[in-house]
């Protein structure tokens, strides 16, 4: 039996979302058509929009549907940059954090290469948390040249949660809009779009129990966004393309259920996560927990961060294992029926150390020994027990192989 510990990559669809999607797929109708079938499809879309808005603290008109989180991030970063730059040619600067997902980093770098943008990196501490004083200094420095700030709500690798409301407040003092990639946060942490103060927020369905290729960008009323794609003018002209009615209905069902059950589920998953961390430390005492450290774990084991508190995703446990290569550990665990992730990028087939860990000040050799374990709504004590039984022998074997090859 496989222990699936990679929910941050994708989590199984909720049964209710599967049922809603299957039922909707039996109907025909383009939500842009004016006949009866089209109007029925439009009604489903608008009900989904209302449901998602209500769950996430946004008005229905602030929910712009996309085909996933990557599209939402691209629309926010490029759309904001182009709109702001059109209003003032001096606004060439993008402030981003160096720990962003590549769905944000790559659009930023594309703007630098193709659109004359300048990127400035907001500093982060050893836990991967944005340094607010450092961000304030960047914003104070020629704010009229800044087009936007983009900072993820919770990091997909180490699980650290950012002070999003404070970031938005700092940026808004200078009239700078803020985008947050909340793809790992929605359904796992309390997320209130209006209360956060951000201007736009990205959501992805398959991270919270909805279908792959479904998502949304929450964009505050009156926010000027230049479309990334053009066509039929759907979604207020911001995002053209025929709407996937079945996927959006399933996305709405999954979002509502995840948010409704969040307090109890977050507590359950966090308890499993803490058991997992203790099990890893018992088997491998020198394993290092990366990112913000939950308060009830700060007495256990070594850690790269002295920061404690409730500022970590409930289902995230990210370790580095000295003397090991993350890829070797991943394959050895997979052979024992435990599925997880290295959390690091691979380019051209060559494993690279995580840019997140490097930005946090982790030395490159150490960063190569990273593994990310993430739990979700299907996780059980059996999954933790499977990892607990496998991790010690796997690390021992990986270290032995490393010594033999050195």
Active-site positions read 346
Distant-in-sequence, close-in-space partners of 313: CB < 8 Å, separation ≥ 6: 8, 154, 155, 159, 161, 184, 185, 188, 189, 374
Vertex 242: Cα angle to 239 and 244 (nearest 5): 105
Between CA 229 and CA 224 the distance in angstroms is 15
Helix (H, G, I), strand (E, B) or coil at 249: helix
Q: Report the 10 Å Cβ neighbour count for 115.
A: 13
Between CA 329 and CA 157 the distance in angstroms is 17
Phi, psi torsion values for 375, nearest 5 degrees = -110, 160
Between CA 354 and CA 205 the distance in angstroms is 25
Q: Tokens 């479904």 label which residue?
A: 214
Between CA 239 and CA 249 the distance in angstroms is 18
């Amino acid at each position: 039996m496989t222990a699936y510990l990679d929910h941050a990559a994708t989590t199984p669809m909720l049964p209710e979302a599967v049922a809603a999607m299957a039922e909707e797929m039996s109907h025909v109708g383009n939500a842009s058509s004016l006949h009866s079938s089209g109007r029925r499809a439009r009604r489903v879309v608008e009900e989904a929009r209302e449901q998602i808005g209500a769950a996430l603290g946004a008005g229905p008109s602030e929910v712009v549907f996309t085909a996933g989180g990557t599209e939402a991030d691209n629309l926010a970063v490029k759309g904001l940059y182009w709109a702001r730059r059109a209003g003032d040619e001096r606004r060439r600067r993008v402030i981003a954090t160096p720990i962003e997902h590549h769905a944000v980093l790559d659009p930023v770098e594309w703007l630098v290469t193709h659109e004359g943008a300048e990127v400035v990196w907001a500093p982060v501490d050893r836990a991967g948390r944005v340094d607010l004083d450092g961000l304030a200094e960047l914003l104070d420095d020629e704010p009229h040249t800044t087009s936007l700030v983009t900072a993820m709500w919770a990091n997909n690798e180490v699980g650290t949660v950012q002070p999003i409301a404070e970031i938005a407040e700092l940026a808004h003092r200078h009239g700078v809009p803020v985008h947050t990639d909340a793809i790992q946060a929605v359904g796992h942490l309390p997320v209130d779009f209006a209360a956060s103060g951000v201007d736009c927020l990205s959501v992805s369905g398959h991270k919270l129990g909805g279908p792959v290729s479904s998502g949304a960008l929450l964009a505050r009323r009156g926010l000027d966004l230049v479309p990334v794609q053009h066509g039929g003018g759907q979604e207020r002209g911001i995002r053209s393309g025929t709407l996937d009615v079945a996927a959006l209905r399933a996305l709405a069902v999954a979002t509502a259920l995840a948010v409704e059950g969040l307090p109890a589920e977050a507590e359950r998953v966090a308890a499993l996560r803490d058991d997992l961390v203790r099990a890893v430390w018992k088997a491998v005492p020198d394993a290092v927990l990366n990112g913000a450290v939950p308060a009830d774990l700060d007495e256990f084991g070594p850690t790269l961060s002295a920061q404690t508190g409730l500022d970590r995703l409930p289902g995230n446990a990210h370790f580095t294992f000295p003397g090991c290569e993350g890829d070797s550990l991943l394959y050895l665990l997979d052979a024992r029926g435990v599925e997880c992730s290295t959390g690091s990028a691979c380019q051209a087939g060559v494993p690279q150390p995580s840019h997140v860990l490097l930005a946090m000040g982790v030395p490159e050799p150490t960063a190569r020994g990273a593994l990310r374990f993430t739990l979700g709504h299907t996780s059980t004590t059996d999954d933790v027990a499977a990892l607990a039984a496998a991790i010690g022998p796997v690390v021992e074997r990986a270290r032995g192989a490393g010594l033999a090859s050195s």
